[in-house]
């Protein structure tokens, strides 16, 4: 599972770097920042918690910053002053440095990672292993099933967080529909399947039907990206 988590972390680095590039390009062109590319605080907090958990599981401790530094810590120390996008530029650089570190961690699994291996990590993105464990690219593919492609521990945790937020929203609204209540049950079933490693999670989430967009919107808002990705895939 640790190898899979490292691969997922690498792909998430790539996605965040690409979003930073889009925001910086929009600023340079004088255009509004694309809403779908913007970061959310909870999203970044969850991302860095995942990184620290992976590093701790592999190393048994969080290493000195000379070995690995979390992107937010790098940005805090290297933000360009008098630049409205100084933090974003520094954070992007921190992501690039951190991604290289996680790529180096794959050498631990050199006997398990082979040329041509592909690992789906959400939103159709696949980590593709080329000639060495460090040589990794990100591309679109749909060849790997859901159960093979995601960190089920992370998914189960995020589905649980999503259900809590949905229940909170339902308690505050007076226009709830039966399909909203059904959605909570569907998410609970998907969460259990993720924890047990059984069942077709995408098929289960396909039963969200009319409530899927609501679930996806809330998942995106609170930054549970793995859950959002699989809900999005169930809509296709």
Higher pLDDT, 144 or 43: 43
**Least confidently predicted of 71-85, 86-100, 111-125, 128-142:** 128-142
Quickly tell me which residue has 């590319």 as its tokens.
Answer: 37
From residue 38, how far is each of 35, 140, 154, 172 by CA, in Å?
5, 21, 22, 27
pLDDT of 123 above 80: no
By CB atoms closer than 10 A (0-12, 13-18, 19+), residue 125 is buried
Average pLDDT for residues 39-68, to the nearest whole number?
91
Average pLDDT for residues 104-113, to the nearest whole number?
70
Helices (H) and strands (E) in the chain, counts: 10, 3
**Least confidently predicted of 51-55, 123-127, 155-159, 197-201:** 123-127
Average pLDDT for residues 104-111, to the nearest whole number?
75
Joined tokens for residue 137 = 């690219």
By percentage, how much of the chain surpasses pLDDT 90?
A: 29
**pLDDT at position 110:** 57
Dihedral sign, Cα of residue 127, residue 128, residue 132, residue 136 = negative
Average pLDDT for residues 22-40, to the nearest whole number?
89
**Least confidently predicted of 91-95, 115-119, 194-198:** 115-119
In angstroms, rounded to a whole number, what is the distance separating the alpha carbons of residues 50 and 226?
12
**pLDDT at position 151:** 63
Q: What is the mean pLDDT of the chain?
A: 79
**pLDDT at position 150:** 53
211 and 182 Cβ atoms separated by less than 8 Å: yes
Top-ranked range on mean pLDDT: pick from 2-16, 18-32, 189-203:
18-32
pLDDT of 109 above 70: no
Helix orientation angle between 212-222 and 152-172, rounded to the nearest 10 degrees: 110
Q: How confident is the model over 143-183, as pLDDT tens digits?
A: 323 333 456 777 888 898 899 999 998 888 888 888 888 99
**Nearest alpha carbon to residue 211 among 174, 236, 194, 186:** 186
**Least confidently predicted of 3-7, 66-70, 75-79, 194-198:** 194-198
In angstroms, rounded to a whole number, what is the distance separating the alpha carbons of residues 66 and 56?
16
């Amino acid at each position: 599972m640790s190898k899979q988590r490292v691969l997922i972390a690498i792909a998430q680095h790539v996605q965040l770097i690409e979003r930073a590039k889009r925001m910086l390009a929009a600023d340079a062109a004088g255009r509004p920042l694309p809403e779908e590319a913007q970061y959310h605080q909870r999203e970044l907090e969850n991302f860095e918690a995942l990184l620290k958990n992976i590093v701790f599981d592999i190393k048994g401790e969080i290493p000195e910053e000379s070995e690995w530094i979390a992107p937010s810590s790098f940005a805090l120390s290297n933000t360009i002053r008098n630049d409205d996008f100084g933090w974003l530029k520094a954070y992007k650089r921190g992501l690039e440095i951190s991604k290289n570190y996680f790529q180096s961690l794959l050498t631990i699994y050199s006997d398990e990672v082979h040329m041509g291996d592909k690992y789906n990590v959400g939103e159709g993105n696949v980590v593709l292993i080329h000639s060495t464990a460090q040589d990794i690219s990100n591309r679109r593919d749909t060849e790997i099933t859901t159960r093979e492609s995601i960190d089920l521990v992370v998914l189960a945790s995020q589905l649980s967080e999503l259900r809590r937020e949905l229940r909170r929203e339902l308690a505050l609204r007076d226009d709830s529909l039966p399909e909203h209540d059904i959605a909570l049950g569907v998410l609970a079933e998907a969460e259990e399947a993720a924890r047990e490693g059984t069942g077709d999670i995408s098929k289960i989430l396909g039963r969200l039907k009319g409530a899927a967009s609501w679930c996806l919107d809330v998942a995106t808002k609170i930054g549970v990206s793995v859950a959002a990705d699989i809900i999005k895939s169930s809509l296709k």
